[in-house]
Amino acid sequence: MLRGKNRKNNGKLRNRSNDLLTVEWKNNQVVMIDQTKLPGKLVYVRYKKYEDVARAIERLIVRGAPAIGVAAAFGMSLAAISSKAKAPKALLRDLEIAYDRLKTTRPTAVNLVWALDQIMNVAASKNNVEEIKKSIILSSLKMATDDITTNKKLGMNGAEMIRSDEVILTHCNAGSLATVTYGTALGVLRAANDMGKKIRVIATETRPVMQGSRLTAFELDHYGIDFSLIPDTAVGHLMSKGIIDRVIVGADRILKTGHVYNKIGTYQIAALAKRHEIPFYVAAPNSTFDLTSNVNEVVIEERNKNELMKIGNKLLAPKGIKVFNPAFDVTPPELIAGIITEKGILRPPYEESIAKNF
Ligand code: MRU
C-alpha cells in the first residue's frame, strides 16, 4: 500500500509544471480556485464585490489560514475601488464596514485579522482618496507575493531536517490550496521532494470536510509526490506499526506559549505521536503567530451540523439529533518537537524561542 505508485495522469487535472494559484488579483477582480469543487473539477471563480469574497471564505471556497488572509486583503481592495467616497474620512468609513464583514467570516485563523489590520494601517497612513486606494491594492499584492517567498523559505528550512526514505504524516490541507501557492506543511514536503529526498506521505482524510482526501490528495497527485490516503481513525494503528517517521501539520494560530490551533483532530494525532515517540512538527509563517491572546480567549469555530449530518443530500445520521462540530483544536506545546517558520525551526521552550523569533 505505502510503496505503490499514485494513479496516472488523467489528462485533465494534472499539470506538474504549473503551481496551483489559489487566490489572485486580476483586472480589478479577485480570482480563486473554488475548493468546494475539488477534486472533481478545477474551477476558478471571480469576484467584484467584497461581500462575495466574505461569503466565499465562509463557504470554504477559499480556506486555509494564509489563503483566507490574502483573500480578505484582496476583498479590501475591492471595497476600496468600489467606494464612491470623495474624501479620505468617508473612504475609511467604507473600508471599516468591509473590514468588519470580512473579519467575522472565520474566527480562528489569525492570518485573517493580521491581513485586514495591515490593510487598515496602510489606508490610515495616506491622506488622499487615490493614494489610499492605490496603497491598498499594492499592499494586498505584496502580501500575496510575500506569502509565496515565505512559504518557500519555510519549506527549505523544514526540508533540511528530513532524511531520504522518511514516511511523513500530514493532516488537513496545509498546501498550495491553503496559501497563495506552495504551502506550509506541504511546502516542506515539496522542498524535500525537490531536493531529491525519497519521501512518502500519509494524508489523513480529515473528516468532516475532507480537506485531506479532497485537497491534499489532489495536490500531492498534482505535484507528483508519493502518498497514501488513510482514514483519520487509522493514525494510531500506523504509528503503532512503526510506519510513520514524522508528523508535519500547518497551523491557524500559534500563541506565545507555543499552543497551536489547527484543524480538528490535530491534537489527537500529536498525543498519539508522543505515545509512539514520533516527532510532531508544525509549519507556519510568522503571520500565524498571535502574541497577545491567551489560550482561553481564542474562539474555536463551530461549523454547521450538516457537515456531519450529510454527504450531498444523503442523510448520514438521524434527523434532529444534537451535533457538535468544532473546526479546530489546540495542541499544547509539550507535544510539539519544533515549529518550522521562514526564519528557522523554533524549539522548546517556546516562550523563549518565540519571543526571540519576534
Ligand atoms: O477549515 P480550514 O480548511 O480552513 O482549515 C485549515 C487548516 O486547519 C490548515 O491546517 C491551516 O489553516 C494551515 S494552512 C497553511
DSSP string computed for 74-100: HHHHHHHHH---SSHHHHHHHHHHHHH
Indicate the top mutation candidate among 62, 171, 189, 262 to test ligand 1's pocket, ranked by most ligand atoms within 8 A of CB. 262
Active site residues: 252
Mean pLDDT by groups of 10 residues along the chain of 358 residues: 44 53 98 98 98 98 98 98 98 98 98 98 97 98 98 98 98 98 98 96 98 98 96 98 98 98 98 98 98 97 97 94 98 98 98 97
Contact 337, 277 (CB under 8 A): no
Spatial separation of the C-alpha atoms in residues 300 and 222, rounded to whole Å: 31
Q: What is the 47 CA–ligand 1 centroid distance (Å)?
A: 22
Q: State how far Cα 7 lies from the chain centre.
A: 26
For residue 215, give the ligand 1 atom closest to its CA.
3
Nearest of 291, 277, 280 to residue 331 by alpha carbon: 280
Grid coordinates representing 205? Answer: 482524510
CA torsion angle 119 120 125 126 (round to 10): 80
Q: What is the 173 CA–ligand 1 centroid distance (Å)?
A: 6
pLDDT value, residue 312: 86
Domains and CATH numbers, the chain: 23-151 (1.20.120.420), 153-357 (3.40.50.10470)
Q: What is the 114 CA–ligand 1 centroid distance (Å)?
A: 16
All residues at 6 or more sequence positions from 271 whose CB lies less than 8 Å from its CB, including other chains: 335
Indicate the top mutation candidate among 108, 173, 264 to test ligand 1's pocket, ranked by most ligand atoms within 8 A of CB. 173
Q: What is the 134 CA–ligand 1 centroid distance (Å)?
A: 30
For residue 106, give the ligand 1 atom closest to its CA.
4
User: Which residues line ligand 1 at a C-beta cut-off of 6 Å?
Assistant: 63-66, 109, 172, 174, 178-179, 184, 211, 250-252, 262-263, 327
For residue 262, give the ligand 1 atom closest to its CA.
8
Predicted model pTM: 0.94
Would the CA dihedral through 72, 77, 82, 86 be positive or negative?
Answer: positive
pLDDT value, residue 343: 98
Ligand 1, atom 5, lies closest to the CA of 64
For residue 327, give the ligand 1 atom closest to its CA.
1
Spatial separation of the C-alpha atoms in residues 267 and 184, rounded to whole Å: 18
Indicate the top mutation candidate among 63, 151, 182, 298 to test ligand 1's pocket, ranked by most ligand atoms within 8 A of CB. 63
Grid coordinates representing 243? Answer: 510506519
CB atoms within 10 A of CB 42: 16
Q: What is the 211 CA–ligand 1 centroid distance (Å)?
A: 8
Q: What is the 208 CA–ligand 1 centroid distance (Å)?
A: 13
pLDDT value, residue 12: 36
Q: What is the 332 CA–ligand 1 centroid distance (Å)?
A: 18
Indicate the top mutation candidate among 59, 263, 299, 300 to test ligand 1's pocket, ranked by most ligand atoms within 8 A of CB. 263
Ligand 1, atom 6, lies closest to the CA of 64
All residues at 6 or more sequence positions from 160 whose CB lies less than 8 Å from its CB, including other chains: none
